[in-house]
Structure 1
Amino acid sequence: MGVRYAWKPGSRINLDAEKAGRELEDIRKQSGGALTQEAVVERARSANSVLHSHFTWEDAEAAEKWRLSQAGDLIRAIVIDVSRSNVEESKLLRAFVNVEQKGQRHYTSTVVALSDIDLRAQVLRRAWEELEAWRQRHAELVEFARVFSAIDETKRA
């Protein structure tokens, strides 16, 4: 049985997954078994690489994209403490969540999103999607069988 490559659901990568997967595997093998981001970028520099078109090679544009990526990292990393007293153990909650309104994706306060019926439904739907994606990534781990059963039970309820 051969390996077949595909992009995970929701992925926005506009490359042939089969060709990209084979090239990534080739890079891994040529790098002594370790696939690194540096090795991928180095291979992708060649216009002949299947991976080349995925990257932004114009430096000013790439720098701006990197800053936008850093801004996203910053937004996703900030949390708020929602514990109700100084005695209670800290309860950390993401400060902002990604939602869609009027056809545009953006971040909004988690507290606001969870207080709005439509936004809460979006947050819950995304949480289920992420949980299912985690489950698929770790489906081969029998040690999580009870967790998988709990997920199924919760979803039915």
Structure 2
Amino acid sequence: MSSSLRESLQRVYDQHGQLTPKLVVDIARDPAHELHRFFEWDDATAGEAWRREQAHRLIQKVKVVYREADEKNPEQSVRAWHAVRSEQGHVYEPVAKVAADPFTRQLVLKDMERDWKALKRRYADFAEFLDLVRSDLDQDAA
């Protein structure tokens, strides 16, 4: 059990020629497997966690249109709810409230900045990444 998570996942990949969440869960079901400890196996707890994940996905799906489509541009929309840090963890607030409240807007912008920096760190070693971002920004500006 002293191997790292990376090594454990590499072994799964090496043995099966692929790595998928389903495969990892199936292999980790064995209580003797080194990955078993990373999962919640109590169905009551895990079931509730999955329902929270489903609710999270539902909340993120809802969009509000802020610019209707016209002959030159497609419709523009944003998420209707944004996660805002609070004492209870992250809570979702309506986008209109986030936009209207300077403090809340700053919290969301800080989260955006942290997310952007994490993405940049993740892909910084790929020279093509910055080209891809620039190209996408240029397309949006056009």
Q: TM-score range by the shorter chain?
A: 0.7 to 0.9
Structure 1 residues 39 and 72, CA gap change in structure 2 (3 angstroms): same
* Whole-angstrom CA distance in 2 between matches of 1:60 and 1:94: 31
Question: Distance in 1 between the 2:82 and 2:93 partners?
Answer: 6
Q: How far did residue 144 of structure 1 move?
A: 3.4
Aligned counterpart, 1:53:
37
Residue 140 of structure 1 corresponds to which residue in structure 2? 125
Tell me the SS of whatever aligns to 1:92.
strand
Give the AA of the match of 1:36: T
CA distance in 1 between partners of 2:96 and 2:58 (Å):
18
Structure 1 residue 82 and structure 2 residue 66: aligned?
yes
* Structure 2 residue matching 1:53: 3-state secondary structure: helix
Q: CA deviation at 1:21?
A: 1.1
The verdict on how the C-alpha distance between 1:104 and 1:38 changes in structure 2, with shifts beyond 3 A counting, is: closer
TM-score, length-scaled by structure 2: 0.79
Identity of aligned residues (%): 27
Counterpart residue number, 2:110: 125
The Cα shift of 1:95 comes to 0.7
How many matched pairs? 131
The alignment partner of 1:125 has SS state of: helix
Between 134-143 and 117-126, the greater mean CA deviation after superposition? 134-143
CA distance, structure 1, for counterparts of residue 132 and residue 120 of structure 2: 9
C-alpha separation between the residues in 2 aligned to 1:69 and 1:79? 18
| Alpha-carbon distance in 2 for matches of 1:147, 1:42 | 36
Provide TM-score, normalisation by structure 1.
0.73
Amino acid corresponding to residue 12 of structure 2 in structure 1? I
Q: CA deviation at 1:86?
A: 6.5
Supply the AA of the counterpart residue of 1:81.
Answer: V
Post-superposition offset of 1:48:
2.5
Cα distance in 1 for residues equivalent to 2:122 and 2:89? 29
Higher fraction of helix: 2
Distance 2:131 2:69 in 1: 35
Whole-Å separation in 2 of the counterparts to 1:59 and 1:36: 21
After superposition, give the CA deviation of every residue in 1:52-92 in whole Å (9 maximum; x if it has no partner): 22212122222221111100011112111011x56474111
In structure 2, the partner of 1:108 is 93
* Aligned CA distance change for structure 1 residues 41 and 146 (closer, same or farther; 3 Å): closer
